[in-house]
């Protein structure tokens, strides 16, 4: 029996989003794939395994240490998989076109102008090609944000509350994704949301939770100019997690197809 490359089960964040991506992705042996914001290879290795030696996967990430990590994991396997340093919002015009473009947890990094970044990326699709991107959409961890908002209001932290709302308003929704794909001229647009419960306990377990701290709790801390006040505020939030649990992330997968050329 052929042993296929599986998504890593110890990655409690990238893998659940990659599972949603793969469900949307119409992959085939021999396909060429561009994987943006590829990180350490979830799902680049899975994609390389499925397209096989007649295919090609180019995994691009702006951080050299992520590219180094991907190449280290790769070793001598999958010679048709390349990890390269690159900015997905400013890819070279000489880059070839691809059958598929993917990006797991990538769309959050398309800021500040997500529609323009998406248009820039879509131009690397072949006619009839598909793009699938995943991101935590608006609604992710709303129970936590609502509690933080109430606490800031009760304590008259007006500047901090304004910063919080600016962050929340900037988050893209599923409807944003659908609209932006359509504005790119893509067809068969499909956007789905699948909830994921993130479990946590109180205190340090919450404040140092690997899925919550990076990119979520840090955004609350950044609402404060005074780091001492920020820590005291977050200690109070963390003391009783029952006030905002269960916590749900909205796994959003956005998919669209480039039109076929005339006569195809």
DSSP string, 70-109: HHHHHTTS-TTEEEEE--TTS--TTSPPEEEEEETT-GGG
Q: What's the confidence (pLDDT) of residue 82?
A: 96
pLDDT mean across residues, the chain: 93
| Those residues with Cβ within 8 angstroms of residue 198's Cβ, 6 or more apart along the chain or in another chain | 141, 209, 211, 212, 247, 248, 249
Is residue 66 within 8 Å of residue 40, measured between CB atoms?
A: yes
> How high is the pLDDT of residue 4?
78
Closest to 200 (Cα-Cα) out of 172, 153, 238, 156: 238
Contact 130, 34 (CB under 8 A): no
User: Looking at the structure, do residues 57 and 162 belong to the same domain, yes or no?
Assistant: no
> What average pLDDT score do residues 214-227 get?
92
Q: Are residues 205 and 110 in the same domain?
A: no
Query: Domain range for residue 126?
Result: 14-137+172-197+249-257
Question: Do both 181 and 70 map to the same domain?
Answer: yes
Establish if 1 belongs to a structural domain.
Answer: no
Is the pLDDT reported for residue 262 higher than 70? Answer: no
- What confidence score (pLDDT) does residue 168 get? 93
| pLDDT for residue 1 | 42
Q: Each residue of 40-78: pLDDT tens digit?
A: 899 999 999 999 999 999 999 999 999 999 999 888 899
211/190 same-domain check: no
Name the residue with tokens 């180094």. 68
The model's pLDDT over 121-170, given as tens digits with 9 standing for 90+, comes to 999 999 999 999 999 999 999 999 999 999 999 999 999 999 999 999 98
Domain annotation covers residue 150: yes
CATH number of domain containing 105: 3.40.50.150
Give dist(CA 158, CA 37) in Å, integer: 35
- Residues 21 and 146 both lie in one domain: no
Pair (60, 37) in one structural domain: yes
Of 259, 255, 143, the C-alpha closest to 195 is 143
Residue 183 and residue 189: Cα distance in Å, rounded?
11
Q: Answer for the pair 219, 149: CB distance below 8 angstroms, yes or no.
A: no
pLDDT attached to residue 3? 60
Structure-token pair, residue 221 = 């801390």
Q: Are residues 104 and 70 in the same domain?
A: yes
| pLDDT above 90 (res 197) | yes
- Asked whether residue 211 falls in the same domain as residue 116, the answer is no
Distance CA 148, CA 213 (A): 15
Instruction: Decide which of 213 and 81 is more confident.
Output: 81
End-to-end CA gap in the chain: 38
Residue 62 lies in a domain: yes
Is residue 262 assigned to a domain? no
Residue 6 lies inside a defined structural domain of this protein? no
Nearest to 85 by CA among 65, 105, 100, 99: 65
Instruction: Specify the DSSP class assigned to residue 136.
Output: E
Regarding whether 33 and 157 lie in a shared domain, the answer is no
pLDDT per position as a tens digit, 8-43: 988 889 999 999 999 999 999 999 999 999 988 999
pLDDT at residue 263, rounded to an integer: 45
Q: Confidence class of residue 261 from pLDDT cuts 50, 70 and 90?
A: confident
Residue 263 lies in a domain: no
Tell me if 4 is assigned to some domain. no
* Cis check: omega of the bond before 112, within 30 degrees of 0: yes
Please give the C-alpha separations between residue 19 and each of 6, 8, 163, 243, in angstroms, as whole numbers: 11, 11, 33, 30
Number of domains, the chain:
2
Mean local confidence (pLDDT), 192-221: 92
Confidence of residue 5 (pLDDT cuts 50, 70, 90): confident
Place of tokens 């990006």: 103
Answer whether residue 9 is part of any domain: no
| Judgement on whether residues 100 and 153 belong to the same structural domain of the protein | no
Q: For 201-227, what is the mean pLDDT?
A: 92
* Residue 103, CA atoms < 13 Å, CB-side half-sphere: 26
Query: 148 and 117: one domain?
Result: no
pLDDT, position 200? 95
DSSP string, 5-26: PPPPTT-TTHHHHHHHHHHH--
Q: Are residues 157 and 206 in the same domain?
A: yes
- In angstroms, the CA 254 to CA 117 distance is 15
């Amino acid at each position: 029996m052929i042993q296929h490359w599986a998504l890593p089960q110890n990655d409690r964040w990238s893998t659940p989003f990659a599972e949603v991506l793969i469900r949307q992705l119409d992959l085939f042996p021999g396909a060429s794939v561009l994987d943006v914001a590829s990180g350490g290879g979830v799902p680049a290795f899975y994609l390389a395994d499925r397209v096989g030696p007649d295919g090609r996967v180019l995994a691009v990430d702006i951080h050299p240490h992520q590219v180094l990590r991907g190449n280290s994991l790769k070793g001598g396997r999958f010679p048709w998989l390349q990890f390269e340093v690159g900015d997905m919002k400013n890819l070279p015009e000489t880059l070839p076109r691809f059958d598929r473009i993917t990006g797991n947890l990538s769309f959050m990094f398309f800021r500040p102008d997500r529609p323009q970044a998406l248009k820039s990326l879509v131009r690397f699709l072949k006619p009839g090609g598909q793009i699938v991107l995943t991101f935590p959409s608006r609604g992710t961890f709303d129970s936590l944000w609502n509690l933080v908002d109430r606490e800031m209001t009760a304590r008259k932290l007006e500047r901090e509350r304004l910063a919080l709302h600016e962050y929340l308003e900037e988050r893209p929704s599923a409807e944003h994704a659908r609209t932006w794909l359509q504005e790119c001229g893509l067809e068969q647009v499909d956007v789905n949301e699948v909830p994921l419960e993130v479990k946590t306990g109180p205190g340090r377990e919450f404040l140092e939770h690997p899925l919550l701290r990076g990119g979520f709790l840090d955004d609350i801390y950044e609402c404060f100019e005074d780091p001492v006040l920020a820590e005291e505020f977050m200690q109070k939030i963390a003391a009783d997690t029952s006030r905002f649990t269960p916590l749900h992330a909205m796994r959003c997968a956005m998919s669209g197809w480039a039109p076929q050329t005339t006569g195809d």
